Amino acid sequence: MEIKDFEVEQWMNLWETKCTHNVAETCVYSLSLDQLFELTGGDKQAFLDAFAARRLTYGDIEGRPDLLSGIAKLYRTVAPEHIIPTHGAAGANALVLSTLVNPGDHVVSVMPTYQQLYSIPEMCGAAVDVLHLEKENGYHVDVEALDALCTPETKVICINNPDNPTGALLDGETLRAIVEVARKNDAWLHCDEVYRHLNQTDEYAESVVDLYDKGVTTSSMSKVWSLAGIRLGWCVTKDEQLRRDLLSHRDYNLISCGLFDEAVGAYALAHADAILDRSRRIVRENLVTLLEWVESEPHLSVVPPEAGTTALVYYDYDIPSYDFCTDMVKFNGAFVTPGDCFEEPKSFRVGYGYSDDTAN
């Protein structure tokens, strides 16, 4: 099957090992194992000794029990048996969409967002209608416009909350209104929630899987938890048949996640509060610096992000975004992502979780 080039990932692959300042990075500043155990007060040597004594089998095919319990605690109504571990949120999105979507299906997706949410359904042969998120509306989903795009033939609605690249956050009231659109049309509601919990306020961030019986969510240990290197994600559904179908598809391309990945993930989620406090401090303090910089530059503008680690910054120069961002990284080593990767010209995505040295 043919699929469009994954613009943002190909751009990252091209430059992220050649730059000086990787502010295209979207994870909160990554932790080493030493830092993880220092932050959480755990016994690193005991952890490593216990793992070193293990035989390197496939492990728990459907997920290590304490990992599943740790993930379940991130939601209000989710149980361990609702969770399927994957290789990152990218693996989770690919698994969910390739399982749900068949040739001829109708899918509605938002834009700008992570390209998987519309390109994978297209690859699967779906007719995809796009709901453009408007800057003037803070990149929030216009529920009436969404309702107008959906029909009883709509199979899946795809959203991203918090949104990548804009940092827009849908509140509980808006999510419930979106759920009603999905319920009216008996559609699945798939939400990539990989930046969930990184609000700029302490308000609880709702999950669609807690709000709708046909809600499916994806996330990972990468962005919020600063552990992209363990390549561990998950999808969540309460629908028994869909869970069975997801596991059946997963048998063909995954089988199980890595023993070490799941051990580190389970340990981290057992200390979720400490990691989340660190992550929120970093993104909240760094966002202040980012907004001050944009305000000081007369050619730049931004809708302040409400959550996540990314912002979409616009410029008024007459330069295509790929040229603008290439010139920038070549000139001073500062690496950001062209807005055209998200079909948003004359803009760039900047990540503000890049450093925990928030003073600089």
Picking from 269, 302, 329, the residue at the C-terminal end of a domain is 269
Beta bridge partners of 350: 311
Picking from 243, 269, 295, the residue at the C-terminal end of a domain is 269
Q: Does residue 355 fall inside a structural domain? A: no
Q: How far, rounded to the nearest angstrom, does the alpha carbon of residue 297 sit from its chain's CA centroid?
A: 29
Q: Does residue 38 fall inside a structural domain? A: no
Pair 83, 181 in one domain: yes
Could you give the CA distance from residue 188 to residue 155 in angstroms, rounded to a whole number? Answer: 6
Domain that holds residue 83: 54-269
5-18: per-residue pLDDT in tens?
A: 999 999 999 998 99
Cβ atoms within 10 Å of 143's Cβ, excluding its own: 18
Beta bridge partners of 302: 313
Q: Does residue 77 fall inside a structural domain? A: yes
The pLDDT-based confidence of 360 (bands split at 50, 70, 90) is low
258-299: per-residue pLDDT in tens?
A: 999 999 999 999 999 999 999 999 999 999 999 999 999 999
**What's the pTM?**
0.96
Residue that is written with structure tokens 């693996």 in the block? 91
Nearest to 128 by CA among 100, 147, 156: 156
Could you give the CA distance from residue 178 to residue 185 in angstroms, rounded to a whole number? Answer: 11
210-257: per-residue pLDDT in tens?
A: 999 999 999 999 999 999 999 999 999 999 999 999 999 999 999 999
Pair 235, 297 in one domain: no
Pair 63, 209 in one domain: yes
Q: Does residue 40 fall inside a structural domain? A: no
Is residue 355's pLDDT more than 90? no
Domain with residue 301: its CATH number is 3.90.1150.10
Nearest to 157 by CA among 192, 204, 112: 192
Pair 249, 112 in one domain: yes
- Count: domains in the chain: 2
**Amino acid sitting at position 196:** R
Backbone φ and ψ of 316, nearest 5°: -110, 15
Pair 312, 221 in one domain: no
Question: Which strand (E) or helix (H) includes residue 189?
Answer: strand 188-192
